[in-house]
Structure 1
Amino acid sequence: MSIPDPPSGILDAQILDPEPDAERLAAFQHLAKCRENSGKKIIVASADALSHPAPAPLQLASSLLHLRTGQECAPDSLQQQFLAAGLEQVSQVHARQQFARRGGILDVFPTQAVDPLRLEFFDLQLDSLREFDLDSQTSIRRLDHAELILTSPVMENRICDWLFESDTIIALEEGIKNADMIFTDSPSGGALMVEAYGTPFAHFNAGDFVLQEAQQDTVFHHINQWLAEQWTIYIAAGSEGERERFRELSGTQLPESNYRFLDLSIPEGFVLRSAKMAVLSLGELLGRPQPSGGNNRLRRLEKVRSHAAATELDQLNEGDLVVHADYGIGRFRGLTDGENGEEELSIEYRHESTLHVPIDHSHLISRYVGVGGKTPALSRLGDGRWGKVRKSAETAIMDYAARLLRTHAERDSKHGYAHPADSRWMWEFENSFPFTETADQAQAISETKADMESSQPMDRLICGDVGFGKTEVAIRAAFKAVTGGSQVAILVPTTVLAEQHWRTFRERMSDFPIRIDLLSRFRKPSEITDTIRGVAEGSVDIVIGTHRLLSGDIVFHNLGLAIVDEEQRFGVKHKEQFKERFHQVDLLSLSATPIPRTLYLSLMGVRDMSTIDTPPPNRIPVHTSVCSYDERVIRDCIRRELERGGQVFFLHNRVQSIEIIRKRLLELVPEARILIGHGQMAREDLEEVMHTFVEGKADVLLSTTIIESGIDIPNANTIMIDRADRFGLADLYQLRGRVGRADRRAYAILMLPRDQVSTGDAKKRVSAIKQYTALGSGFKIAMRDLEIRGAGNLLGTKQSGHIAAVGFDLYCQLLRQSVEQLSGHKVRRRVDVVFRAGFIVFSESRYQEADDEKLPAYFPAEYIQDSKARVAAYREMASLTSLEELHAFESRLKDRYGPIPRPARNLIKVTRLRFEATMASVETVEIRGDRLMVQRNGGFLMVNNRQFPRLRSKHPSSMLSEAIEWLESLNRP
């Protein structure tokens, strides 16, 4: 097990990311269990982690709250414990140290837990214990027991206090680079003195072929020498593909009986001479860097940007701008009781006019989300302008959908090149991937390969955040194309990105005879000429370049796949050029901007898309801190990063004063090599700056936000953002994403003016940044903002105007309907059946005034106590389109709020009645007295040969059930 590093101790920060402390507490809790059970354990920790204060074992034990299903436990008492421990009571849990109470359900997010917990009680007994997902708020797994750390214990001890006298401490001196590794014995009495040395193979570089004959001779000569001296040899290989590759290369020179494989990945091997043992890294032998660390890292809050409903984003707050599909843009003013006894949503329009919307029509309302952050004017009821705006948007959306379908159909009608099925080389290549693919990355790869094997030309878009694994999808597709006998062209927007891809592709394919060339202005003229000749003759398998690839002098011998990275960053002219150039070959486009799930679903069937929403499992979260501007902090942070051999981004978004900042940074850290980059520089000069920084020839890049986010600089792991209060949360999210790509801890420091940290509006901004830092609701809002930008990029400027006019959610609804209509599919519409029954009361306040004969049908305030969540539940139910969706909705209600009370059960029954009526093509259902009156196509319907059948029961609930049975009978064959 590992003890994570503590948060950066050099920061006098007002706000710190809580995740590192949570991870450390979870590690100590795990260690306590090992001590208790006398379990054997290897503990790995850095010097920082060891020296940082830790809780005493007994103190940690006293901080734990043990819970087990079936135990006697009063929820009121537990709630008081949470409050006494300083937990914040909220309506919905979205961050650590929060809890929420909903009747017999308690949600809590303890300090050290990976996921929040849901405790469900039956009277005074803990009936169920579940972990739940923060985004969807639904349970993800059941537990028999759990241990909660409600408050962080006092940190006055060291990790050494956790060790027994007989434990061995092995200290590795990390500062000695490329030399022998020295292990020393424990100062507390352990008698071990071990010397470990680096292997002789640590300096093999990846080329077009690694382990060529000379290198193979060196490797096998050493290994056979060790074997002759009775050494034990271990080969550390993280995948079956690597093991198979080593067997092929070793052949008869090194039979497998002479060594053993270890199923793990390590960056470098080592030799223990005293024990006559060698542990060799296969990645090192094959010239490929391996990820350090195991595959069992804690699941993190950043693990998935869930496709499930982000409930907080869907909730309406009083004062929010909303869009009513029929009446336009207004302002939500809350829930009110209508004249007919139903609860209604109140929406304010221009000139203080108000529209009251019945709950069962709440599906017509959505939050207004535009593009570009402009606030729209409120619509005016009854003036007809909204109808014209919506009609204009509908016409444009229909034209856009028709154009997409036409392009899709044209591509499907063409006959392209069908790549052969996967070869053995493909299997070996995929198995040599040193990481575990995420589920959606694996799906994107599978979908891409299936498209390539089809005879229709592929046109697939891969969307995903930076560092989520899009490049690996492209690499797999390129390898499949080349081993199938065709060439690959990779088009990128900048020369710096072209060079990065060239290195990445060469490194990944270094074991195979594949020639990968680069067309870039950083290459010599003779190299460019040689590449162009090789492309024409077919000796170059993969060529990577900017729009230079579109030049007339580039002629391909047998092009089978074109990959376009960051498609949205090319101009219209270049887009037309590569569509013309690559119209009959497979086309794979990559975009680093995530797009909303609603848009993804709307475009299904007209655009082949794959989305990657899950970060790699070994991604170490970025430490995010907020502090006042302090030159000591700046100096210490830069020096700390330089001392570990890294690089720093320093973001200052004003060109006028950027040179002054550079001079000040040089005074603070005179040893640092500092470069400046900003948008007013010539493109070639900016590329030169980026090229120098990527090459590691500078320590600090002082820049504005112009520096592209697509560049992967694993060595840059600290970003300092000056005047962070001037950025939106989405901007801060993207900026923070520039670091944290490697397997080492990265830091983001958000700096504010000293006098603004705790005063006025700036205090609110700091509060918002704090939410973002803790990956709470602010993080989700930032993601929503980013996704809407991504939608604007994907759809283009003209469509962005219509999004601004009608709001993003309504735009997606109209787009989906247009696509379904033009595709000849049945348009899925929400149930819109008129139902009347005088004995049903749809409002809680009206029911309290009604007689006992009435049937309540609403979500009681005691059941869903938060009014925003209650409105969201009504809106979600009103937007359902099938009985299956209704059953799923009912399950979610039980999970989040506990057993469904009678009024809510009745409301669900009314919704079911509407679904049964819709399936029977019925428009109106009325229960008048004991008669059931059903209308279809404007006329009353005969039910079992009777126009107005008489209901047998006199009890309201039974009458409702009987009406549902009558409607069900209409749907039977």
Structure 2
Amino acid sequence: MKNIYEFLKKLKDEKSLKKCELLIVNDDAQAQVASHIVSFLGFKPFVLADFRANFKDDLLSFSDEIQDITKSLQDFYGYKKEDKILISPIRTVSFPLPKKDCFDSFTINFADKLDLNSFKQKLYSWGYYFVDIVTSAGEVSIRGDIFDIAPLGSDFGYRVSLFDDEVESIRKFDIEDQKSQKEELDSFTIIPAFLALSEDSFEELSEKIELSSSDAFVKDIHSLGFWYLDNLAHYLPQNMNSFITQEALGELDEAYIFEEKRLNKDKFLTIPQIYSSKEYKEISPSNVKEFISFHKEKKITLITTSEARIKALDIPLDDKAIKYHFSDEIINLLGTNEVIISLNKEVKKRKKKRVKLVVDELVLNDFVVHEKHGIGIYKGIEPVSIMGAKRDFVVIHYQGEDRLLIPVENIDTIDRYVADGESYAIVDKLGRGSFAKLKEKVKDRLFEIANDIIKLAAARELVNGIKIFIDDNLIKKFQKSSGFAYTKDQTRSINEIFSDLSSGKVMDRLLSGDVGFGKTEVAMNALLAVVNSGYQAIFVCPTTLLATQHYHSISKRFSEFGIEVFKLDGKTSPKEKTSIKKGLESGDIKLVIGTHSLLDIKTNNLALVIIDEEHKFGVKQKEKLKGLREDVHIFSMSATPIPRTLNLALSKLKGMSSLLTPPSERLGVRTYVKEYSEALIKEIILREKRRGGQLFYVHNNIASIEAKKKDLLQIVPNIKVDVIHSQIKPADAEKIIENFENKEFDILLATSIVESGIHLPNANSIIIDGADRFGIADLHQLRGRVGRSNKEGFCYYVVEDKSKITPEAIKRLVALESNSYLGSGTALAHQDLEIRGGGNIIGAEQSGHIKQIGYGLYLKMLEETLATLSGETKTKEQNIDIKLAISAYISEDYISEDRIRLELYRRLSRAINKEELYNIEEEMEDRFGKLDIPTKQFLDLILIKILAIQKEINQISSYETNITFVNSQGLKESIKSRSRDDDDIINTTLEYLRK
């Protein structure tokens, strides 16, 4: 910071700052600092992203950086004043970049005439993705006379309604829930999603890409366009007046790979350098007012976004000795003649909004579970005509070619079948009644489990808990010593725990959050508070590996607070074991981290038991821990998400906290989809080895895993490989993981057993063999094994033969590669993981039941059981049979995409009141335009269903003009409609139900 400030200030004072057109820095972080300084000095900064690709890399994995570079250059060239400076990390500017004539924009105004065909062609040539639902920048969806578009750099989309070819309305819409704002806009501007290419240039570029020798899985402008463009130029030094920092040149020496297309290192050495500063030093004053008083003779500038921050420091706003600069820059420097202090906090990079609507991803031939008939195979939606009226039905195949047709208004009776990833569903036989018996058996077992949970919760509720004193100053000091800012979720979870610990009631809290999201940091705050209050605490882990990891990290953090940490596990010597157990019994030892060995201890004044990966402990083991002392506080942690509904059911009985935000220093994982080749595998392994790392290789077939090990040793003979899968004894598996952590071998060859629960920061590349055979949730979870430290992770989804996999599988894999699913695959992955998480929280011993009926139905039944036993009055789910001779379905003319119709059918079938139904209707009109007749009648049918359930009517049918209602007691009542027309049958039925 200090060298850039001193240099640019000097240029400004000499009135030659305009001569600096391009400032070359080290990386993203330095670019951010430079942009604050450039802005502070009164110039307009434009920052390019740090583009760390290698020539001919598949760029889908770099889509965020490419979009950022395109947007910044578009803004740079669109800014007409001369006071602008382009700031670029050295790796970005080492490549040729698009010239000025690659950028353009056009504006759509209210009442403009729009030729839809030429508009589509322009967007296509400009690199827009055409999708069903717009969920991120650079996407467009055209549906008849409505189109949605999200230009680059936009957090929201624009929804345009046309009347014939005239723009009738323009509104913003939220990509999270797809709802548009009421306020209409006069105009908005569209910029390219890639570059402003003409139709001919686009075709020419596409042809070059298609003929290229690249191994990119999908060859298009988004994956390879940047490498094959003609309209590129090196920005320095011949084209732009440039300066370079010393640190940036250091980056060249350390990591620069000289290759085709990149600028020669000598070119950089000819650029004027910015040397380290002699006049300034960086500062971080803890007491600003006092610091200013020491430097009164200097020129003092305070940077802030609001006067309130100045008042909070008790500094008078009319102090003539201080210059106030109102902006959001962060510059903290002490010079020989001036002081600059910023009161602003660093703004974290905004996370991309994630679409909340989970589009139903039921794919043909998926396994589904019907709550009455069991597991079947989904065969799509079919229109069926009954008595001259057309309706849509969901088709499910069962054993022996049996077919079950479910009216789409009752689609809520089926769920996708999700088990544990390794289970294969067994299709049931229709009409045998065996599934009903199975459900009863599971229900009985669930009553036992739920009963135990509730009894235990009630007993603990009657006991007074140990009150823990929370020393705020000590906690603040500890949190500061972490060296990073806590996420909002961490802060909230810590406050919830402290509230429990100091309440005088016994705490029983569960914290869920992915590995690496900072659960241990939250737990350490609780441990510190308890030990500081003079009590004992134990931290129990399922494996010695995890216990060792926690022991090292906690000992390191607690050493400066004078707290000694002990470890008790299978590796502790008998002598140490005896000593630690005695220390716990006498009260001399306050904190022990260990495994199951901690189940057999006696303590003096134990106040807190922390259980990590709690789903790996049996119910009896957990009870034993709770039995160490009746008023002990229990804090459990799990690395799997809790389904929202189960969260509600369980939260009546225990506290629930969750960490959903990754720490700010976590880097994304670069993801590539590739076709298998030995050369590719060799390059991936050697690339990771070159940077001193290790790899996971996922091969999900135990029978052929040893043969795969031989293949790997032939491809790269001098590497070390070890194998792990579910048939290896737990003690041996633990030893293998420990050896891997100690870097005794290079590749851990495994089945999908590595999907969760291990934190190995040195393993930062993962190869997933046969990726097309995994579900999207598994792929998403496996990718999460790498990139857990501050090192960038690499994930390779490898398929055997690209020509043999389905278009859906290709779409899914490519979506994961670019990190933003065209639709909502990531949201679906989280939904799947949530369901599995529920299974984990209940306990591994339930997996047999779950396999038989699927997670979704199992959790639904558990929630109902917990609600019943808690004395909650839960409305009994009622199925209703509606056989009205009306045409009612969401028509393909209204919504052409099957998956979106399916999603709306599911949401409408789950609507439990009129308000919910009308909200969905409003959303449909907003997204797709005015309802057509069959779609409007389908919504009327859902209203009939809702009103009938409220009146406890089980069946409604019509024949000719007669409409018959049968209630839950079996009583029938018939009424007459004015005619056989659809609208008369609907209106007569609604009149009766509204009485």
The TM-score normalised by the length of structure 1 is: 0.74
Q: What is the Cα deviation at residue 198 of structure 1?
A: 12
CA distance in structure 2 between the aligned counterparts of 1:686 and 1:806, rounded to whole angstroms: 30
Q: Does 2:867 align with 1:820? A: yes
After TM superposition, list the pairs within 5 Å mapping 1:945-956 onto structure 2: none
Counterpart selection for 2:119 from 69, 75, 78: 78
Aligned partner letter, 1:415: N
CA distance in structure 1 between the aligned counterparts of 2:573 and 2:593, rounded to whole angstroms: 15
- SS of the equivalent of 1:817 reads helix
Go from structure 1 to structure 2 and tell me whether the alpha carbon gap of 1:625 and 1:193 turns closer, same or farther (over 3 Å shift).
same
Q: Does 2:857 align with 1:802? A: no
Go from structure 1 to structure 2 and tell me whether the alpha carbon gap of 1:641 and 1:106 turns closer, same or farther (over 3 Å shift).
same
What is aligned with 2:816?
Answer: 772
Go from structure 1 to structure 2 and tell me whether the alpha carbon gap of 1:403 and 1:94 turns closer, same or farther (over 3 Å shift).
same
Go from structure 1 to structure 2 and tell me whether the alpha carbon gap of 1:939 and 1:689 turns closer, same or farther (over 3 Å shift).
closer
Aligned partner letter, 1:25: T
CA distance in structure 2 between the aligned counterparts of 1:66 and 1:503, rounded to whole angstroms: 59
Q: Does 2:373 align with 1:332? A: no
Counterpart selection for 2:910 from 867, 879, 883: 879
Q: What is the Cα deviation at residue 398 of structure 1?
A: 3.2
- SS of the equivalent of 2:351 reads coil
Q: What is the Cα deviation at residue 723 of structure 1?
A: 6.6
- SS of the equivalent of 2:97 reads coil
Q: Does 2:592 align with 1:561? A: no
Counterpart selection for 2:497 from 429, 436, 448: 448
CA distance in structure 1 between the aligned counterparts of 2:412 and 2:625, rounded to whole angstroms: 42
After TM superposition, list the pairs within 5 Å mapping 1:2-81 onto structure 2: 2-6=47-51, 8-9=53-54, 16=61, 18-32=63-77, 35-36=79-80, 43=87, 45-59=88-102, 61-62=103-104, 64-67=105-108, 72-81=113-122
* Contact 1:295–1:617 (CA under 8 A) maintained in structure 2: no
Go from structure 1 to structure 2 and tell me whether the alpha carbon gap of 1:196 and 1:599 turns closer, same or farther (over 3 Å shift).
farther
Q: What is the Cα deviation at residue 774 of structure 1?
A: 2.9
How many aligned positions are there? 875
* Identity over aligned pairs, percent: 27
More deviation, 828-837/565-574: 828-837
CA distance in structure 2 between the aligned counterparts of 1:799 and 1:434, rounded to whole angstroms: 41
Q: What is the Cα deviation at residue 702 of structure 1?
A: 4.8
Counterpart selection for 2:349 from 297, 301, 312: 297
User: 1:335-367: per-residue Cα shift (whole Å, max 9, x none)?
Assistant: 222424251333333333333333333332333
* Contact 2:237–2:271 (CA under 8 A) maintained in structure 1: no
Counterpart selection for 1:863 from 876, 880, 894: 894
* Contact 1:367–1:809 (CA under 8 A) maintained in structure 2: yes
What is aligned with 2:782?
Answer: 735
What is aligned with 2:147?
Answer: 106
* Contact 2:508–2:655 (CA under 8 A) maintained in structure 1: yes
* Contact 2:724–2:736 (CA under 8 A) maintained in structure 1: no
Q: What is the Cα deviation at residue 513 of structure 1?
A: 5.0
* Contact 1:417–1:456 (CA under 8 A) maintained in structure 2: yes
* Contact 2:128–2:192 (CA under 8 A) maintained in structure 1: no
What is aligned with 2:43?
Answer: none
* Contact 1:196–1:273 (CA under 8 A) maintained in structure 2: no
* Contact 1:460–1:610 (CA under 8 A) maintained in structure 2: yes
Go from structure 1 to structure 2 and tell me whether the alpha carbon gap of 1:492 and 1:31 turns closer, same or farther (over 3 Å shift).
farther
CA distance in structure 1 between the aligned counterparts of 2:928 and 2:460, rounded to whole angstroms: 49
User: 1:559-606: per-residue Cα shift (whole Å, max 9, x none)?
Assistant: 211111112334677545434336531111111123444544554535
What is aligned with 2:886?
Answer: 842
CA distance in structure 2 between the aligned counterparts of 1:748 and 1:233, rounded to whole angstroms: 50
Q: What is the Cα deviation at residue 894 of structure 1?
A: 3.2
- SS of the equivalent of 1:799 reads helix
Aligned partner letter, 1:912: L
Q: What is the Cα deviation at residue 9 of structure 1?
A: 1.0
After TM superposition, list the pairs within 5 Å mapping 1:430-829 onto structure 2: 438=487, 440-506=489-555, 512=561, 514-519=563-568, 535=584, 538=587, 540-552=589-601, 555-570=602-617, 574-575=621-622, 577-581=624-628, 584-601=631-648, 603-606=650-653, 608-617=655-664, 619-628=666-675, 647-651=693-697, 654-655=705-706, 658=709, 661=712, 665=716, 667=718, 678=724, 700-704=746-750, 710-714=757-761, 716-720=763-767, 729-751=776-798, 756-761=800-805, 768-775=812-819, 776=821, 779=826, 782-783=829-830, 786-797=833-844, 799-829=846-876
Aligned partner letter, 2:943: R
CA distance in structure 2 between the aligned counterparts of 1:569 and 1:661, rounded to whole angstroms: 32
* Contact 1:323–1:807 (CA under 8 A) maintained in structure 2: yes
What is aligned with 1:346?
Answer: 395
Aligned partner letter, 1:3: L
More deviation, 9-18/897-906: 9-18
Counterpart selection for 1:365 from 405, 414, 433: 414
* Contact 1:833–1:918 (CA under 8 A) maintained in structure 2: yes
Aligned partner letter, 1:809: G
Q: What is the Cα deviation at residue 623 of structure 1?
A: 0.9
Aligned partner letter, 1:104: D
Q: What is the Cα deviation at residue 55 of structure 1?
A: 1.7
Counterpart selection for 1:387 from 427, 436, 449: 436
Go from structure 1 to structure 2 and tell me whether the alpha carbon gap of 1:324 and 1:780 turns closer, same or farther (over 3 Å shift).
same
User: 1:508-556: per-residue Cα shift (whole Å, max 9, x none)?
Assistant: 557645444444678899987876666556565433223333343xx43
Please list every run of 5 or more consecutive structure 1 residues that lacks an aligned counterpart in the other structure: 203-215, 238-242, 248-256, 283-292, 669-673, 844-856, 942-946
Aligned partner letter, 2:93: L
- SS of the equivalent of 2:786 reads coil
Q: Does 2:369 align with 1:323? A: yes
CA distance in structure 2 between the aligned counterparts of 1:726 and 1:874, rounded to whole angstroms: 28
* Contact 1:74–1:125 (CA under 8 A) maintained in structure 2: no
CA distance in structure 1 between the aligned counterparts of 2:484 and 2:417, rounded to whole angstroms: 41
Q: What is the Cα deviation at residue 763 of structure 1?
A: 9.3
- SS of the equivalent of 2:410 reads helix
CA distance in structure 1 between the aligned counterparts of 2:641 and 2:119, rounded to whole angstroms: 41
Q: Does 2:360 align with 1:312? A: yes
- SS of the equivalent of 1:581 reads coil
Go from structure 1 to structure 2 and tell me whether the alpha carbon gap of 1:710 and 1:277 turns closer, same or farther (over 3 Å shift).
farther
Go from structure 1 to structure 2 and tell me whether the alpha carbon gap of 1:967 and 1:631 turns closer, same or farther (over 3 Å shift).
closer
Go from structure 1 to structure 2 and tell me whether the alpha carbon gap of 1:195 and 1:536 turns closer, same or farther (over 3 Å shift).
farther
Go from structure 1 to structure 2 and tell me whether the alpha carbon gap of 1:384 and 1:875 turns closer, same or farther (over 3 Å shift).
same
What is aligned with 1:289?
Answer: none
Go from structure 1 to structure 2 and tell me whether the alpha carbon gap of 1:886 and 1:500 turns closer, same or farther (over 3 Å shift).
same
After TM superposition, list the pairs within 5 Å mapping 1:951-970 onto structure 2: none
CA distance in structure 1 between the aligned counterparts of 2:401 and 2:419, rounded to whole angstroms: 23
CA distance in structure 2 between the aligned counterparts of 1:347 and 1:737, rounded to whole angstroms: 34
Go from structure 1 to structure 2 and tell me whether the alpha carbon gap of 1:682 and 1:280 turns closer, same or farther (over 3 Å shift).
farther
Go from structure 1 to structure 2 and tell me whether the alpha carbon gap of 1:163 and 1:909 turns closer, same or farther (over 3 Å shift).
farther
CA distance in structure 2 between the aligned counterparts of 1:760 and 1:958, rounded to whole angstroms: 52
What is aligned with 2:170?
Answer: 128
CA distance in structure 2 between the aligned counterparts of 1:507 and 1:260, rounded to whole angstroms: 42
Counterpart selection for 1:908 from 896, 915, 939: 939
Counterpart selection for 1:898 from 929, 948, 954: 929
Go from structure 1 to structure 2 and tell me whether the alpha carbon gap of 1:664 and 1:967 turns closer, same or farther (over 3 Å shift).
closer
CA distance in structure 1 between the aligned counterparts of 2:329 and 2:688, rounded to whole angstroms: 26
Q: What is the Cα deviation at residue 733 of structure 1?
A: 3.2
Aligned partner letter, 1:402: N
Aligned partner letter, 1:172: E
CA distance in structure 2 between the aligned counterparts of 1:770 and 1:579, rounded to whole angstroms: 48
- SS of the equivalent of 1:311 reads coil
Please list every run of 5 or more consecutive structure 2 residues that lacks an aligned counterpart in the other structure: 1-31, 33-46, 197-225, 255-265, 305-309, 314-320, 700-704
More deviation, 321-330/568-577: 568-577
Counterpart selection for 1:147 from 170, 190, 196: 190
Aligned partner letter, 2:848: G
Go from structure 1 to structure 2 and tell me whether the alpha carbon gap of 1:704 and 1:352 turns closer, same or farther (over 3 Å shift).
closer
CA distance in structure 2 between the aligned counterparts of 1:571 and 1:633, rounded to whole angstroms: 43
